[in-house]
Structure 1
Amino acid sequence: MQEQGPEMEIVHLLRAVVVELGAHSARFAQRNGMHPTDVRALIALMDAERAGEEMTAGRLGTALGLNSAGTTALVDRLERAGHVRRVRDERDRRRVTVEVDERAVALGRSHFGPLIGRAVELLGGYDERELAAIRDFLTGVRETAEEDRTGHRAPRPAP
């Protein structure tokens, strides 16, 4: 068993945060008649939009680890619920992207907004150097988890 130093204390706190965030997300899904994968899909779509990237159904399925049939069922379900829309590319009519509807964003904001607001408030108490350290740590943990899922190690910039 590993020593219980400050590093392990932080790892245990991170695990507790992940569990609480998962429970928070599950409550949102349950209250809104959604599957947890629906919530993950909406988050992936909003992250892509924030990054200025278009999301096709195929790319969404890859991001969520779903096969083609599962992705189609997911997008159909989200579209029927009014959470997403399929948009045909004007240059290539065969290409279809999936976009989050503003009503889904508003629904998510009503549930997750207070949590996000409090997190931003907490981060306001840290200086730029501390924020950079937090960002670097969380990025490294996310990349490590992604490596486990994809089997590909993400390149890390030099510190």
Structure 2
Amino acid sequence: MTMYRSRANPRARREQEIVDELRDLVATSERIAHAFAHRNGLHPTDLQALIHVMRREVADDPLTAGELAGLLNLTTGAATGVVDRLERHGHLRRDRSETDRRKVFLRYGDPGQELAAEFFGPLGRRSSAVLEQFDDAELETVHRFLSAMGRAFAEHHAEL
């Protein structure tokens, strides 16, 4: 079986264009992330850790170091090293749970937030301008597509 479908019909051509655009978007996103990491002396794993912490913090569901280890596919010791390094540079801070003092949550540090806002702010504004071009129904379709593709990618990664 070939990896690429025939481009003989309009749907097949459009599907291939979407796959090509998605591949290009992912590659460009990785280059941007590596530029941020390089500029700020971060290892790519550090950047992935920051992304996980940020997403969960925005969702008001902060991560623990153990959860981060699982998300990064690291041992808890290696994850602690990542967290220590990020905390030392002001990217993260540790906050004890108010209800269970044994539990420690990872939070984005103020210096890290400022660096990210400065670096990614222009991209955020460009992204917002693109999103404004779509009505609610189109955004729902895009969301459904990206969610499904994300699940497909995650399933493939889990099988590796």
What RMSD in Å do the two structures reach over aligned CA positions? 1.2
Q: Give the unaligned 5+ runs of structure 1.
A: 152-159
Give runs of aligned pairs for residues 127-138 of structure 1, distance below 5 A. 127-138=135-146
- Larger displacement relative to structure 2 (84-93 or 65-74): 84-93
**SS at structure 2 position matched to 1:116:** helix
- TM-score for both structures, normalised by structure 2: 0.89
- Larger displacement relative to structure 2 (71-80 or 102-111): 102-111
**Residue 17 (structure 2) pairs with residue 9 (structure 1):** yes
Give the superposition deviation at 1:74: 0.3
Give runs of aligned pairs for residues 1-159 of structure 1, distance below 5 A. 1=2, 2-4=5-7, 5-150=13-158
Give the superposition deviation at 1:77: 0.5
Q: Give the unaligned 5+ runs of structure 2.
A: 8-12
Give the superposition deviation at 1:99: 0.8
Q: Which amino acid aligns with 2:103?
A: R
- TM-score for both structures, normalised by structure 1: 0.90
**SS at structure 1 position matched to 2:87:** helix
Find runs of 4+ consecutive structure 1 residues off by over 3 angstroms: none
Give the superposition deviation at 1:62: 0.8
Aligned mates of 1:91, 1:84 — CA distance in 2: 21
Q: Deviations over 1:85-139 (max 9, x none)?
A: 1112233222111111122111111111111210110110111111111111111
**Structure with greater Cα Rg:** 2
Q: Percent identity?
A: 38
